[in-house]
Structure 1
Amino acid sequence: MSQKAIKITGWTLTIVLALVFTMSAFMKLTQNETALEQASSIGLDASTYQFIGIIEIISLILFIIPRTGVLGAMLLVAYLGGAIATHLQHQQPIAMAVIFQTLLWITAFIRFPELKQRIFLTKKVQQ
């Protein structure tokens, strides 16, 4: 696959993830009824849920910016890990969180080859 195709794929996946995380954060920040019901089902109050939305949007912004993308990716990975653990604790389905966690890792590896090199200890990729 050419470098141009790899770059386009990475940014396309980034946009898809950005849309999903933006929608999720927007529901938390606007105190949407559905979001508040979900929050109360896992024992979170409205202000805590809103704060989680702020953390989510900050992490997403860091992920989108190329210079801070690796940090943003790690924060979003941690965020989704917490979501998975919370869903497991309350016997709720985890499939969507696992899918987005996997998609996030794939996107991070495509956009940031140095991350893949460090995790899998591969030889340095020529750019």
Structure 2
Amino acid sequence: MTQKTRKIIGWVFTGLLALVFISSAFMKIKGGAQASQGAAALGISLDTLKLIAIVEILSISLFIIPRSGLLGTLLLAAYLGGAIATHLEHGQPVMFPIIIEIIVWITAVIRFPELSKRLATAQ
């Protein structure tokens, strides 16, 4: 795969992830009926839901910016790990957050060559 192709694929995946996280955050901030029902099912207040939305926006913003992309990757991985744990605790399906986390890591390995080098040489 050429460097140009790798860069294009990385940015396409980044755009898709940005769309997912930003739309999710705005639905939480907007606080419609679906967000209220989801929060109530998890035992989360609407204020806490808005704080979670801010964390989502901050994390994806750091992920998008190349200089802070690795930090964004770690924050998104931690956020999604929490989402998976919360879904498991409340008996909800976990496939969506798992798939999104896999896409985050694939995108990070494509976009940040230093990450793939470190993962390849991990002992």
Q: Same fold (TM over 0.5)?
A: yes
Higher relative contact order (CA 8 A, sep 6+): 2
Cα shift at 1:54: 0.3
The 5 Å alignment of 1:8-23 reads 8-23=8-23
Which consecutive residues of structure 1, in runs of 5 or more, have no partner in the other structure?
123-127
Cα separation, 1, equivalents of 2:36 and 2:70: 31
Identity of aligned residues (%): 52
Cα separation, 1, equivalents of 2:87 and 2:30: 22
Cα separation, 2, equivalents of 1:90 and 1:110: 34
Q: Tell me the residue number matched to 1:44.
A: 44
Q: Tell me the residue number matched to 2:63.
A: 63
Q: Tell me the residue number matched to 1:72.
A: 72
TM-score scaled by structure 1?
A: 0.93
- 1:22-46 per-residue CA deviation (whole Å, 9 max, x = no partner) reads 1110011111220111011010000
Which consecutive residues of structure 2, in runs of 5 or more, have no partner in the other structure?
none
Cα shift at 1:117: 1.6
Cα separation, 1, equivalents of 2:32 and 2:60: 20
Which letter maps to 1:25? A
Cα separation, 2, equivalents of 1:37 and 1:83: 16
Q: Tell me the residue number matched to 2:27.
A: 27
Which letter maps to 2:56? E
Root-mean-square deviation (CA, aligned residues, Å) is 0.9
Runs (4+) of structure 1 exceeding 6 A deviation are none
Which letter maps to 1:45? S
Q: Tell me the residue number matched to 1:125.
A: none
Q: Tell me the residue number matched to 1:2.
A: 2
Cα separation, 2, equivalents of 1:61 and 1:32: 24
Cα separation, 2, equivalents of 1:40 and 1:106: 33
TM-score scaled by structure 2?
A: 0.96
Pick the structure with more helix per residue.
2
